[in-house]
Structure 1
Amino acid sequence: MTNNKMLVEERSRDIGNFLVGRLLPFRRKRQVGPFTFIDHMGPSVIAPGQYLDIDQHPHIGLSTLTYLLEGEIEHRDSTGAEQLITPGSVNFMTSGYGVTHTERTPQHQRNGDSYPIHGYQVWVALPKEQEEIAPNFVHIAKEDLPQWEENGMHLTLVAGEGYGRKSPLPVYSPLFMVDIKTVKNNHLDIQGQLKGEIAIVVVEGEVSSDEQRIGQGQMLIAKTEDECCLDLAAHTRLLLFGGAPLPEERFLYWNFVSSSKERIEQAKADWKAKEFPIVPGDTTYIPLPE
C-alpha cells in the first residue's frame, strides 16, 4: 500500500448499553479535514428492555452530525431542540461554547417490539474563531438533500459541497459528506469532484483501490488529488467524508474538542460543577470520566 493511503479498522467502543465501531480518531490520523470523530452505530436491533438511552452529556467546540440508515432516535438538547431523527435526514447540533444533549429510543418504539438501528455520528471541529459561538440545532429532511443518479450510482450530498452541488445544511468550514449506493459493479472517479482530505467508509459491500480491497467496516484515508478512482462491487454503500484541514491542532477529551488545552480544562471543571446549560426537564447526568 502506498504512503498516501491508510486503512483503518473499526474498533469497538462501549457507550453505555450500546456498542459502536469507532473509525476516527486513531493513532496515526487524528482528523480528516475538519472531521475529528466518526462512530458507526449498528447495524443492530433495539430489543425490549435494551433501549438506547444516552443520558445528558456536554460538548464544546464542535458540531455533531447524526445520519441514520435505519431506525429512529429521539434527540433533545439544551437549546430546547426536540427532534425525531429518521433515516436519510441529517441532524446537526453545534455546541459552540457549550451544549448538553440526550439521545434515546423514542417512546413509540418502547412497546415490546424490536427495531433496527444503524447509523453514523460524526464530530466536525469548529474553526478557531467560531469555537465559542452560541449553540444551535439544524434538521434537514431527507427529501431536501441533493440526490442524483450518476453512472448507475445513487448519490446524496449530506453536507457541504461536491459534484457541483451544495447541501442546504449550514456548515462552518469547507467540507463534504456524500452517501453513495451501487446496484451493480461500478467505477467511482472523484477527481475534481471533492476538495480536501478524504475518508472513504465502506458501509456495506467492497471497494478496490490499487489492488487493495476495502471491505465492510473499514475506512480508507487519502487525499483526493492522489486517490481519484475506486472500483465498487455490486450492492456497495459508501460514505465519503472530508474537506480542508483546519490550520491549528485540535485537542480531544471525552466530548470536548478545542484548539486550546486550557479551554478543555475549563469545560471539565464546568461540567463537574454542573454549570453547563441543561436539557429542559431532564435531570440525568453522565459524570466526567476520570
Structure 2
Amino acid sequence: MLHFNLAATFLHLQKWMLMSNINLIIEERATSIGKFMVGRLLPFREKRMVGPFIFIDHMGPVQMNERENMDVLPHPHIGLSTLTFLFEGSIMHRDTLGTEVEIKPGAVNWMTAGKGIVHSERTPAYLRHSTKTMHGLQIWVALPKELEQMEPEFCHINAEDIPAWTDEALQYQLVAGEACGRKSPVPVYSKLFMLEIKSSTAQTVNIGSELYGEAGLYILEGGIASEGNRYGPKQLLVAKDSSLCSFTIEANSTIYIFGGEPFAEERFIDWNFVATDKALIEAAKQKWIAQEFDKIKGEENEFVPYPALKRK
C-alpha cells in the first residue's frame, strides 16, 4: 500500500508539473564556506545554470559578535563575473587590480575575472570590534566563450544608481541587465536580467512578456501563489520558459527574478574556476597551487589553498 501511495503521489506531481509553468523547485541547501553556513541554490544536480547564472549562494542572515568577523582570504577566479548584493552588513573588497571598496546594502559589486583575478572579502576595520549582521547574495555569472580570457575588470555601482520604480504598489529594482524597458548600469557581457520585486500588500505580478531566455524566481521572504500552489522563502522556482505566467505575490514579500539567454556550450566548474574547456581550469588550478597569480597588495602572504591540498 505504501508503494502504491508513493507511486500515485509521484504520478500526480508529474501531471501537475506538465500543467504548470514551474519546471523545477530548488530548496536552499546548507553549505559550509569556512566559518559561515550559506544556502546554496545553484548549481543544482538537475539544473546547473539558469541563463548565464551558474552559482548563487544566500548568505545569512549571520549574527556576529565583537570577536567574530568575516575574513575570506585571497582566492582566485577565472571565466566569470561575480555579483555581490547585500541586504544587511558590509564587506571590504580588495583585489589584484588594486581595488579597495566597501560593499554596502543595495550596492552592486561586479568583478569580472576573465583570464584570472584574486580578491579577498573581509569585515571593514571600523566594524571589527562591534556586533554586526551579514546578509546577502553571492552570484557568479559565466562569461561568453569568446570573453573567458578577457582582461579582468571591476565595477562598483552605488545603491542610488540602480534603476528603481514603483508600479501599482509593487517596488522594482533592476539589479543587473535589461528588463521592463530599462537597463542597469552594471556592465554585463551577455543578455541577462536580475530583477528585485517587493510588495507590502498582496498583488498580481505579470511581467512575463518583459523577460527572455530562461528564468528563475527566488523567494527571499514572504511567498507567492501560482496556479493554485503556494511557495515560500528559500525556494528557487525554475520556469519552463521566461514568461513565468502571472502569479500573486503575498504581502511583505521580496523576490528576485533572474535569468537570460543560455549559452550553447557547457560550462565546467572546479572550485572557483569556470570555463568551457577543462584545460583552462587545470591551468588555473596549477597556477594557483604554485602561487603564480598576482598578489593583493598588503595581503601577499595570505591565501586560500586549493581544496585538494587542504584535505591532505
User: Could you tell me which residue of structure 2 aligns to residue 164 of structure 1?
Assistant: 181
Report the aligned-residue RMSD.
1.0
Q: Any gaps of 5 or more consecutive residues in structure 1? A: none
Matches within 5 A, 1:259-278: 259-278=276-295
* CA deviation profile, 1:67-117 (whole Å, cap 9, x unmatched): 001111111111111110000010100000000110111111112x21121
Tell me by how many angstroms 1:285 deviates: 1.1
**Counterpart among 62, 77, 86 of residue 59 in structure 1:** 77
**Counterpart among 66, 78, 81 of residue 99 in structure 2:** 81
Q: How far apart in 2 are the matches of 1:120 and 1:7?
A: 19
User: Taking every aligned residue pair, what percent have the same amino acid on both sides?
Assistant: 48
Residues 190 and 224, structure 1, Cα contact 8 Å, conserved in 2 = no
Higher-Rg structure is 2
User: Could you tell me which residue of structure 2 aligns to residue 250 of structure 1?
Assistant: 267
TM-score under structure 1 normalisation? 0.97
User: Could you tell me which residue of structure 2 aligns to residue 108 of structure 1?
Assistant: 126
Following TM superposition, where does structure 1 have runs of at least 4 consecutive aligned residues deviating by more than 6 angstroms?
none
Change (3 A) 1:226 1:157: closer
Q: How far apart in 2 are the matches of 1:142 and 1:237?
A: 17
Secondary structure of 1:143's partner? helix
Q: Structure 2 counterpart of 1:137, which letter?
A: F
User: Could you tell me which residue of structure 2 aligns to residue 32 of structure 1?
Assistant: 50
Does residue 286 of structure 1 match 2:301?
no
Q: How far apart in 2 are the matches of 1:44 and 1:286?
A: 22
Q: Any gaps of 5 or more consecutive residues in structure 2? A: 1-15
Residues 209 and 243, structure 2, Cα contact 8 Å, conserved in 1 = no
User: Could you tell me which residue of structure 2 aligns to residue 2 of structure 1?
Assistant: 17
User: Could you tell me which residue of structure 2 aligns to residue 214 of structure 1?
Assistant: 231
Secondary structure of 1:2's partner? helix
Q: Greater strand percent: which structure?
A: 1
Secondary structure of 1:286's partner? coil
User: Could you tell me which residue of structure 1 aligns to residue 219 of structure 2?
Assistant: 202
- Between the two proteins, the alignment pairs up a number of residues equal to 289
TM-score under structure 2 normalisation? 0.91
* CA deviation profile, 1:140-198 (whole Å, cap 9, x unmatched): 11111110001111100010000110001110000000111100001110221111111
